[in-house]
Structures are given as structure tokens and as C-alpha cells.
Structure 1
Amino acid sequence: MAAEKAENIFSYTREVIAGYPKEQRFTLAMLQDIQKEFKYIPRESLTLLSVYLGMPLSKLYSMATFYKALSLQPKGEHVIRVCDGTACHIRSSMVIVDEIAKILKIKPGETTGDGKFSLETVNCLGSCAMAPAMVIDETYYGKVTPAKVRDILNEYGGAGCA
């Protein structure tokens, strides 16, 4: 099974690479495409990109760890991002984070044991008028209250949310 997973990673990474010119300026876009597929950037993908772009592996690791949107660790099936920018923070976004953490039994930066959810805080979602805001996968939720959190998580089959 591990060999099959590795081959899937190599195969998909080759597809991504084939879709871009052999130029370093496309590195971030390639990393984003890979992460979208696997919910993280596997080491095997970094190795293939390093060879393809003639870029040191250390530089790719630097990029993957610099950008908060990228991850070298597997993420949950659904990634929850709660904004803690100024507008959201003053409207109690951390209360929303605490409620999610209580329900899912994880802290920001963690993933549930069943791999269903990952929780993150971010500096800005660009939705200040909807503060406090959060996004799950690519769906935005505004004016979130602790009372709404359980219902929102239930839309995603929320682990232990019933």
C-alpha cells in the first residue's frame, strides 16, 4: 500500500510539473497544486520539483515552511481557517476558535484523529465586514457565533458534533 501511495504521489507530481514551464517563478503555483491534491506537500513531490527546476531541496523546504498556506504535514479532509485579524479579533474570533477546539477536541494547528478536520487561525481572510469570519475548505462563513459553530461543522459531518 505504501508503494502504491508513493507511486500516486510521483504520478500526480509529474502531471503538475508537465503543466508548467521549467522556470522557478512557477514554483509556488506547483506547490499549491500539489497541496490541493494531497492536503499537504509530500517529500517525494519536493524531490521531483527539485530535480525538475534545478533548485536545491532546501530552498523548496524554505518556501513550503515560509508560506502559512502550505504544509509539509497532512491536513484534514476539511480545513477550518478562523480569521484573527483586527476586525475579527475585536469581535471575539478567539471565542469561535475555542468553541471549535472544544467540539473537535483539537487546538489550532492540529488535525482530528479521524483526519476529518484541521483547525488553523489566520491573520486575514479579507472579509472584515463579515467579522468574525471563518472558511472551511473554500466556503466562507460570516458573523459566526459560538451557537452557529456546531451547525456549521455538522454540514461537514462534524466528528462528535451531533
Structure 2
Amino acid sequence: MSVEFKKVSEFPRGTLLALLTDAYLFDGRYEQSCHSDWQDCDDFFFEHSQIADKCAFITALDDEPIGFVVWDPRNMPEYAEIGHNCILSKYKGHGYGKLQLQEAMNRILQEETRKIIVTTNDDLIPAQRMYESVGFKMHQRRNSQNVADFIGEHIDYVYSLERNQT
């Protein structure tokens, strides 16, 4: 089986939304809470293919999309912020998420970015472990700003090239 990192523009509109929907099947509250944001993400990247092909990619296994990652470059070179980062449910736990994250980090760091920031939720333990396994350090825990949100805390992680700073 061959893993490739492909341009978003090589796939049809709706691919990012479908990947996110499947990746969070383990708890239907994610889709209820995040569907609108997921749709906005899909719309944005398929309407702005130049941005998508520079700041996102889809991970494909034998040409089938199994995940994707996007990042916000607007504060580079100071920092980049990873946004959505997901793998289809049936491919979780096989190392594809870590490969995808490492590829994103390599691409971001090639731009001489000093820090990479990512936020996850306190209930997403596998994501926390993955970020820590590639060198991210927990920066802070903070309560969700949305009172209707079922998510208790957000955890901000930082990968820094600057010594002793996060």
C-alpha cells in the first residue's frame, strides 16, 4: 500500500467535509457541533485552490483519500497554526496520522517558521499523544469559549525551534 500526500485540488468538493465527518464518527456530538465549521473549511479550500495547494494536503492510500491537514500561514514566519488534522476512522491507530502530521510540519518548517501551534480537545487522548510524540509541548489548557459546546477544555500545543520558549 502506497501513501501519498496530494493536492486538495486533485479531489472533488466535499472531500474535506466527508473526511472530517467520518473521522469524528466516534461521537455524534462533534458533527452536531462542528458541521457548519467543517462545511466552511471545505468550501474555503475548494474555492481557493491556490491557498489549499500551499497550506493543506490530502493523505491518500492507494489513491483513496484517508485524511488531511490544513494550516494557517498568515503569521509566518513567527508561527503557523495547524487547523483541521484528521484520519478516517478505519485508518486510525496505524501511524497514518503521525505520518501526515510530520509531513505538514516539514512543509511548514521549510518556510523557516519558528513555531507551530495546534489545539486539540481534552477528550482526544490519541491526538494529544501524537502531538507530544513528535515534539509538541503542552502550552496551556483553556475552557471552551462556547457555552453550548460539549467540549470541556481545549489544549494548546506548541512546537518551537526557539530554545526554551513555547
The two structures have a TM-score, normalised by structure 2, of: 0.29
Q: Which has the higher strand share?
A: 2
Q: Which has the higher helix share?
A: 1
The two structures have a TM-score, normalised by structure 1, of: 0.29
Larger Rg: 1
